[in-house]
Chain A
Amino acid sequence: MTRFFTEEHEWIEVDGDSATIGITDHAQSQLGDIVFVEVPKPGTVLRKGQEAAVVESVKAASDVYAPVSGTVTEGNTAIEDNPALVNSAAEGEGWFFRLTLSDPTELDGLMDEPAYRDFAASQG
């Protein structure tokens, strides 16, 4: 399994052609207390860059965009029931959705963990 990161502060864990996607710990910390999450339903076909999920914190609303294209196999309903899970475990139990990759070449050029941590640190 390999974990990739995007400049939009998402992580993508790839296992064969399956990818699990979430927001990073840096992203949840910037959002603050999360009070509402909506994840995509299984079967949803997402193109890279398309709005995939919704996150509302006490401060603001933001969208989570699909970092890669594919067909959703599972949304994490646990975070819909308990949005605070994204704050407490953004890069673990607080994952957002899983999809089957339709174009694995989209992973090329994404950051690995050390590169992302440097990137996030530079964002303040």
Chain B
Amino acid sequence: MSDEDLQLLPLDAWHRARGGRMVPFAGYAMPVQFEGIVAEHEWTRSRAALFDVSHMGQLFVSGEGAEAALEALLPIDLATLEHGALRYSLLLDDNGGIIDDLIVSRWRQGFYLVVNGATKRGDVDWMRERLPGGVTLELLEDRALLALQGPAAFAVLERYATGQWPLSALTFMRGGRFEIAGTAAWVSRTGYTGEDGFELSFAATDAERVADLLCAEPEVKPAGLGARDSLRLEAGLPLYGHDLSRETDPGTAGLAWSIASRRREQGGFPGHARIAALLAEGPARRRVGLSLDGRLPAREGAPVLNGEAEVGRVTSGGFSPTLGHPIAMAYVDSAHARPGTLLAIEVRGRMLEARVVPLPFVPHRYHR
């Protein structure tokens, strides 16, 4: 894809004016960094950073029967999802392969979904083909999505957010309608960094004003995709297209917890038969965390070995700024997936010792 074909974020000019280095990602020109990935990473862990994630798909599903129609597509129990609550779920194919991972929240008039940017068009097509008449799915293309992440996020947002409830009414995985200095926004206490934080969905035409307002606060700096990736890796959060794909199922990916128990028993979602069988027999491979000594990062695709035998592959890896050594996520044979197991990763012809460790690598600091 040439640069001319890239879509522009609502904050495109704002990013460029602030020195954002723009790269193609998910069909958009996006800032990979401003002052530097490690500095932005550390700033997010210690204060708060503003990420533009407007490339992500914001979907709205409504109409009579929307709840049942969504349950026919997702292994989620919407009966227990109250108004203002958010839940992680998976879009699955008929073989139980993961088409996308997403967050669902219940609004008064329907369901609001946030899906990955690179997969949003495919998701919309897939879902529309399967939704019954009377249920509509809109891709909300006129909305920006900004993530304010870090221990100072609450204090900063509280200065501007007004609404029916105080901002403190939102705990992790809850959302509500607020005004941010006059801009109507859907605010949820979520994120992709492992830190406390919020995601703000509002009219794209207000994006510059809100970004300026938040970044004028002394605790806030803009951050790019690079820091977003190193933060989510430390937080043990999978990245679709790397750690998750149509070739991985929820059990293997360590995401079986996202399949509601009622749905496991009753089924009625794509892939149920295969997933039930896989869960009963236990996955042959598992997504694990690997911790490495030294400084040489192991990256996606690197073979994981037990002695001479290849027992897995790295799906994402990099240097952890917080821990000061490389970390990686990999799929390995279940026999070698127990924390503490010593394995090796082949990087540039040399064997790096790697230890299986529990995820996340860096503890989550969500406000529950």
Q: Do residues B299 and A32 form an inter-chain contact, with CB atoms below 8 A?
A: no
Given A32-B36, A32-B37, A35-B319, are A61 and B299 neighbors across the interface (CB < 8 Å)?
yes
Task: Using C-beta atoms within 8 Å of the partner chain, give the interface range for chain B.
Answer: 10 to 19
A58 near B299: Cβ-Cβ < 8 Å: no
For residue B38, CB closer than 8 A to chain A, the reply is yes
Say yes or no: A56 contacts B319, CB within 8 Å.
Answer: yes
Q: Using Cβ atoms and an 8 Å threshold, which residues of chain B touch A38?
A: 296
Which partner residue on chain B sits nearest A51 by CB separation? B348
B33 interface contact, C-beta 8 A: yes
A56 to B352, CA, bound (A): 15
Q: Which B residues lie within 8 Å of A65 (CB)?
A: none
Size category of the A interface is 10 to 19
Given contacts A35-B295, A35-B319, A36-B296, contact A58 B32 (CB under 8 A): no
Cβ of B283 within 8 Å of any chain A Cβ, yes or no, is no
A33→B299 contact, CB < 8 A: no
Quick check: A58 and B37 within 8 Å, CB to CB? yes
Report the Cα distance A38→B297, complex, angstroms: 13
* Distance (whole angstroms) from the CB of A57 to the closest CB of chain B: 8
Q: Do A58 and B226 contact each other (CB < 8 Å), given the known contacts A33-B36, A36-B319?
A: yes
B32/A59 in contact, CB under 8 A: yes
Q: A27: shortest Cβ distance to chain B, in Å?
A: 14
Q: What is the chain B residue whose CB lies nearest that of A37?
A: B295
Shortest distance from the beta carbon of B320 to any chain A beta carbon, whole Å: 10
Across-interface contacts of A22 in B (CB, < 8 A): none
Is the C-beta of A85 less than 8 angstroms from some C-beta in chain B?
no
A33-B324 Cα distance, complex, nearest whole Å: 13
**In this complex, which of B32, B319, B326 has the most chain A Cβ atoms within 10 angstroms of its Cβ?**
B319
Minimum CB–CB distance for A37 against chain B, Å: 9
CB distance from A121 to the nearest CB of B (A): 15
Within 8 A of A (CB), among B210-245: 226, 230
Among A23-40, those with CB < 8 Å from B are 32-33, 35-36, 38
Q: With a 10 A CB-CB cut-off, give which of B37, B38, B299, B326 has the most chain A CB atoms.
A: B38
Task: Give the CA-CA distance A36 to B299 in the complex, in Å.
Answer: 13
Q: Contact partner of A36 among B32, B33, B295, CB < 8 A?
A: B295
Contact B297–A56 (Cβ < 8 Å): yes
Write the chain A residue with the least CB distance to B296: A36
Closest CB-CB distance, A29 to chain B, in whole Å? 9
Interchain CB contact (< 8 A) of A59 among B226, B295, B296, B348: B226
Given known contacts A56-B319, A59-B37, is B348 in contact with A35 (CB within 8 Å)?
no
Does B318 belong to the interface (CB within 8 Å)? yes
Residues of A within 8 A of B230 (CB): 58
Known: A32-B226, A35-B319, A36-B319. A56 touches B37 (CB 8 A): no
Binary contact track B277-317/A, C-beta < 8 Å → 1, others 0: 00000000000000000111101000000000000000000
Q: Which residues of B, 37-91, contact A by the 8 Å Cβ criterion?
A: 37-39
How far is B325's CA from A83's CA once the two chains are assembled, in angstroms?
13
Partner among A32, A33, A54 whose Cβ is within 8 Å of the Cβ of B348 = A54
Assuming the contacts A54-B348, A58-B318, asked whether A35 and B297 have C-beta atoms less than 8 A apart, the reply is yes
- Please, how many angstroms separate the alpha-carbon atoms of A61 and B347 in the complex? 11
Q: Which residues of B contact A83 (CB under 8 A)?
A: 295
Write out, one digit per residue, whether chain B residues 325-339 have a CB within 8 A of any chain A CB (1) or not (0): 010000000000000
Give Cα A54 to B38, complex, Å. Answer: 20
B299 contact set on A, CB distance < 8 A = 61
A58 to B33, CA, bound (A): 11
Q: What is the distance, in angstroms, from B79's C-beta to the closest C-beta of chain A?
A: 44
Closest Cβ neighbor of A32 among chain B residues: B37
Q: How far is the CB of A107 from chain B (nearest CB, A)?
A: 30
Closest to B230 in A: A58
Segment 10-62 of A: residues with Cβ below 8 Å from B: 32-33, 35-36, 38, 54, 56, 58-59, 61
Q: Provide 26 A-B residue pairs closer than 8 Å at the C-beta atoms, listed in order of the A residue.
A: A32-B33, A32-B37, A32-B226, A33-B37, A33-B39, A35-B297, A35-B319, A35-B326, A36-B294, A36-B295, A36-B319, A54-B348, A56-B296, A56-B297, A56-B319, A58-B37, A58-B226, A58-B230, A58-B319, A58-B321, A59-B37, A59-B226, A61-B297, A61-B299, A61-B348, A83-B295
Q: Beyond the given A32-B33, A35-B295, A36-B294, please list 15 additional residue pairs across the A-B interface where CB-CB is below 8 A.
A: A33-B36, A33-B37, A33-B39, A35-B297, A36-B297, A38-B296, A54-B348, A56-B297, A56-B319, A58-B37, A58-B318, A59-B32, A59-B37, A59-B226, A61-B299
- Residues of A that sit less than 8 Å from B by CB: 32-33, 35-36, 38, 54, 56, 58-59, 61, 83
